[in-house]
Amino acid sequence: MQLAEFFTSQPNRLWQLAKQMNVNHAVSGLPWEEKLESPWELMPLIRMKQRFADHGLTLSVIESMPPSNHIKLGTEGRDAEIEVFQRFVANMGAAGIPVLCYNFMAQFNWFRTSTTTRTRGGALVSSYDHSLMQGASLTEAGEVSEAQLWENLHYFLERIVPVAEQAGVRLALHPDDPPITPIRGVSRILTSAAALQRAIDLVPSPYSGITMCQGTLATAGEDIPATIRAFAQQGKMFFVHFRDVRGTPEKFEETFHDDGKTDMLQAMRTYYEVGFDGPARPDHVPTMEGEDNANPGYELLGRLFGVGYILGLMEAARAG
């Protein structure tokens, strides 16, 4: 397993702290700070990759996308967005960045009703309560059906998978978070392991697989070791989000890595059992004492705890 962290595209304190913790692989978003070129063009990607290399970090995953809401909704402008997406994937391949973590959540990405839920010792985590959404108004997209989204995903994959194959870029599809449908009238289709399987079977390819987001799939009630084995046996698990939760799709909260409902040592042993050698990162950490929660899920202290905990699990898994 390649222990990774999510970094901003420009150096900050975490870049150096990560190296001190023996993290050698980077996950990043698009370099939106570029002034002269779009962040999905070749040279911004090459420069970002080189910044990481200069700090001893290998940029292994981009976890971000060009604008894609028209693609997901199937509305006017989707073909123009697909052309940009195709260029982006081709440029990733040319820059030597091997994995793209993408999602098919229309209108909004990961979604929470609170980012100030208190957990162990008063630390802050995000949570979701579906009952709070029952009276919520529709978004400007109106009602979006599951059938529409499946059709739009198929249309997209038919046009992007061949580009990924040619570029040598692995497409790692992230499940919908929360794994519940609909939210504000917008359906969510990737709410289970079976749905992820259906998605990657739409346009079969060695370059089309999943992001194994443990937190989302644990929320959905999946057996985490069984899910790891199922996708690993197909060679379809390209990237891992290692986190945990407490609760159900209707009402859940995120937790410290050692305080959720998943047997995390068993999960880690399963990654080693199946021979997973791709990137994995801690995800959605608690905000701890002294932090201002300006970036919920991604403050610094919880990340240090998460990396340390994962390193311990990796050592235990290697020991058998």
User: Which residues are designated catalytic?
Assistant: 174, 213, 241, 283-284, 298
Packing angle, helices 193-202 and 224-233, rounded to 10: 20
Contact 255, 124 (CB under 8 A): no
Torsion of CA 150, 154, 157, 162, to 10 degrees: 160
Q: How many CB atoms lie within 10 A of CB 131?
A: 9
Sheet holding 245-248, edge to edge: 114-118, 124-129, 251-254, 245-248
Phi, then psi, of 86 in degrees rounded to 5: -60, -45
DSSP state of 247: E
b/e for 140-159, b at 16 or more Cβ within 10 A? eeeebeeebbbebbebbbeb
